[in-house]
Structure 1
Amino acid sequence: MIEREDLTGVRKAAILLLTMDEELSKEVIKELSEEEIELIGQEIARLESVPREIAVRINDEFTRKLHEKSDHIIGVPAKFRGLLNKSLGEDRAQSLWDHLRTEEEKAGKFLKVCDARILSNILKNEHPQTISLVLSNMESKKATEVISYLPAQVQSDVIVRMAHLERVDRKIIEEIEGVLKDQLESIGVVEGRRLGGVEVVAGMLNQMTRGMDTEILEAIEETNPELAERIKQLMFTFEDLTKIDDKGIQMLLKEISSEDLTIALKGTSEALKERILGNMSDRAAKILREDLEAMGPVRISDVDKAQIKIAMVAKRLNEEGKIAISGGGDTFV
């Protein structure tokens, strides 16, 4: 959220341009140099929403028009791109837009390619709040890998802080990323912005091996039972396949390999095993039973990986609307 003290000259110009009539803003853009357009464009790319009171303060003459809209100007980057197309032509606008987006994404790029073990080694000496900010700006799979290398006593603290994150000033994120980048480059590592919250934590726990996710959830539950419950509601495990109807189970079976399924069923309940077998043809079910009987001991870590893999496929199918996952009368999202 933009605060009054954040209103630099360039930011004011960006907001003013967005609140202008489209034809007028087109004329203004024509009078700007490419350097000026780039500066304003970079500022607009950082804006997520503009509070109405700020926009009114910058341009009082549009007070009436702004009051007819919602509390925020929606679709800020898209609106600016539309203005660029009409003012500069599609080719020139596309070139400038690609440049702006590239600059916007550069800051977090090094975190994506950095080895998780190296990154965790640097982060372990940072404050848990700093660690939570960094992990919240990473994909959940990478964040899970990084946190697995952190000391056990730090893990639950970081997870709790991530779950409480809602919105952080972009400048703070950029400063932290800059410091980390310097540290990484100093040890020879060379080569976002989605913040954390309950969803990211649930995604991380979904990808953790058996035991680690339980320990972290229990630690959270001790200090904040309500938060732990919210995280559990967003998690999806292999055992939750019982919440899928028969049609959904059959669709899921088409999306997974028989090898993954066989290994996953080695470590599951008899009820779920029979539910899966009951949704297969007699011949396929017979083959699977024989494979399970013939299979020797399987490492728990391999079972975990297979179950996580299948659970993630089920979650994807649910998100795509192809299957329904329900429990307690509510749809599992």
Structure 2
Amino acid sequence: MTEQNAAQGQAPQRKISRVEQAAILLMSLGESDAAEVLKHMGPKEVQRVGVAMAQMKDVTKDEVSFVLNQFVDAVGGQTGLGVGNDDYIRVMLTQALGEDKAASLIDRILVGGNTTGLDTLKWMEPRAVGDIIRYEHPQIQAIVISYLDPDQSAEILATLDPKVRLDVVMRVASLETIQPQALQELNNILEKQFSGGAAGQASRIGGVKRAADIMNFMDRSIEGSLLDSIKDMDPDLATTIEDLMFVFDNLKDVDDRGIQALLREVSSEVLVVALKGSDDAVKDKIFSNMSKRAAELLQDDLEAKGPVKVSEVEAAQKDIITVARRMAEAGEISLGGAGEEMM
């Protein structure tokens, strides 16, 4: 295949998966720019792309041209992108995620190779994971739910029976640490070999904050029902979980600088839909942190926007909450009040 054919968008000789295309694109950008892109991706997406980068060997010029056809002139001379370069991957992930978050992911990508054990579940559909743990002991279910990312855990819990769901969340809230032997035993139960080098040190897992994080990603109807059930069993625990949860209405408690930073990361389309279902205090907080002209345009868009489904409003609000949480974890804003520890 000629360079011209590749630049015109014709496929190279081998089929390049979408994940591999993303990996080639990032490798062509350079560490700093690639890190900026990764900041806008979820942890599971970062891991998938990172694994693809680590496993790639020789990338031909035709393949680069196919993935970056409109930028072929800029990357035409870069035949050796250094794909698979460990130092590049370490620097890029550290810049994107910070040292603490990047450390375990780097070990998983560069040391562990293919994901196995509990980490395998992160790549599976929530319903499939639910089927795997459905008949396990509730404590095993709680460990799995605590280990996975909150958004995935919320979807898995939604597939379980409401009584089981309540039991699991209560156990998640009471979890603190787990010995590596227990993780190894769990991997044996799942018929997978644990990777990532279980150390002799107990791992922090679960807790009330983790339970609150998971519930933040649940559908509002499930979240409300589950919280009511927890109140019946343990009112104090329910209150603590509520205090730690960060919902859209809590944006009114974020300081002005935080709101301004958040607004720079949120599209106006998503903001309009989210505000359709918010109270006046949140709207006032948003409007007061925009220029007069921008606030007027947003108000006009809100008035012109017709009826919106509740599910669409909730989805838009969760998108904004996710951005707020990511920025808070990166130290860019302080959520304050609910959703993080008070100083």
TM-score range, shorter chain: 0.5 to 0.7
Query: Which residue number corresponds to residue 326 of structure 1?
Result: 336
Q: Which amino acid aligns with 1:167?
A: T
Q: Which amino acid aligns with 2:324?
A: A
C-alpha distance in structure 2 between counterparts of 1:289 and 1:167, whole Å: 48
1:236 to 246, 252, 256: 246
Query: Which residue number corresponds to residue 221 of structure 1?
Result: 231
Query: Which residue number corresponds to residue 3 of structure 1?
Result: none
Q: Report Cα offsets for 1:51-96 as digits up to 9, x if no partner.
A: xxxxxxxxxxxxxxxxxxxxxxxxxxxxxxxxxxxxxxxxxxxxxx
2:307 to 297, 313, 319: 297
Aligned CA distance change for structure 1 residues 134 and 325 (closer, same or farther; 3 Å): closer
Query: Which residue number corresponds to residue 316 of structure 2?
Result: 306
Q: 2:177·2:204 contact (CA, 8 Å) conserved in 1?
A: no
C-alpha distance in structure 2 between counterparts of 1:326 and 1:146, whole Å: 29
Where 2:178 maps in the other structure, the secondary structure is: coil
Where 1:321 maps in the other structure, the secondary structure is: coil
Aligned CA distance change for structure 1 residues 198 and 105 (closer, same or farther; 3 Å): farther
The answer as to 2:132 corresponding to 1:127 is no
Q: 1:136·1:194 contact (CA, 8 Å) conserved in 2?
A: no
Aligned CA distance change for structure 1 residues 302 and 99 (closer, same or farther; 3 Å): closer
Q: Which amino acid aligns with 1:238?
A: F
The answer as to 2:152 corresponding to 1:171 is no
Aligned CA distance change for structure 1 residues 293 and 113 (closer, same or farther; 3 Å): same
Give how far 1:229 is off.
2.2
C-alpha distance in structure 1 between counterparts of 2:114 and 2:206, whole Å: 19
Where 1:218 maps in the other structure, the secondary structure is: helix
TM-score of the aligned structures, taking structure 1 as reference length:
0.62
Give how far 1:101 is off.
4.3
C-alpha distance in structure 2 between counterparts of 1:246 and 1:98, whole Å: 38
Query: Which residue number corresponds to residue 261 of structure 1?
Result: 271
Q: 1:137·1:194 contact (CA, 8 Å) conserved in 2?
A: no
Task: List gaps (5 residues or longer) in structure 2.
Answer: 1-106, 193-197
Q: Which has the larger helix fraction?
A: 1
Q: Which amino acid aligns with 1:177?
A: N
Q: 1:110·1:181 contact (CA, 8 Å) conserved in 2?
A: no
Q: 1:203·1:235 contact (CA, 8 Å) conserved in 2?
A: yes
> What does 1:1-333 align with in structure 2 at a 5 Å threshold?
101-102=111-112, 106-181=116-191, 195-327=205-337, 332=342
Give how far 1:180 is off.
2.4
Where 1:211 maps in the other structure, the secondary structure is: helix
Where 1:141 maps in the other structure, the secondary structure is: helix
TM-score of the aligned structures, taking structure 2 as reference length:
0.60
Q: Which amino acid aligns with 1:307?
A: Q
Give how far 1:218 is off.
1.7
Q: Report Cα offsets for 1:100-145 as digits up to 9, x if no partner.
A: 9418963223211222111212322222222112212212122111
Q: 1:120·1:147 contact (CA, 8 Å) conserved in 2?
A: yes
Q: Quick check: 318-327 or 110-119, which moved more? A: 318-327
C-alpha distance in structure 2 between counterparts of 1:332 and 1:241, whole Å: 16
Q: Which amino acid aligns with 1:324?
A: S
C-alpha distance in structure 1 between counterparts of 2:232 and 2:286, whole Å: 35
C-alpha distance in structure 2 between counterparts of 1:289 and 1:99, whole Å: 46
Kindly name which structure, 1 or 2, has the bigger radius of gyration based on alpha carbons.
1
Q: Which amino acid aligns with 1:315?
A: R
Aligned CA RMSD, in angstroms, stands at 2.7
Task: List gaps (5 residues or longer) in structure 1.
Answer: 1-96, 183-191
Identity of aligned residues (%): 38
C-alpha distance in structure 2 between counterparts of 1:255 and 1:118, whole Å: 33
C-alpha distance in structure 2 between counterparts of 1:103 and 1:294, whole Å: 52
Where 1:241 maps in the other structure, the secondary structure is: helix
Where 2:315 maps in the other structure, the secondary structure is: helix
Q: Quick check: 276-285 or 152-161, which moved more? A: 276-285
Q: Report Cα offsets for 1:192-217 as digits up to 9, x if no partner.
A: 86521112211111111212212212
Aligned CA distance change for structure 1 residues 163 and 99 (closer, same or farther; 3 Å): closer
C-alpha distance in structure 1 between counterparts of 2:151 and 2:263, whole Å: 24
Q: 1:117·1:146 contact (CA, 8 Å) conserved in 2?
A: yes
Give how far 1:99 is off.
10
Give how far 1:98 is off.
8.5
Q: Report Cα offsets for 1:16-43 as digits up to 9, x if no partner.
A: xxxxxxxxxxxxxxxxxxxxxxxxxxxx
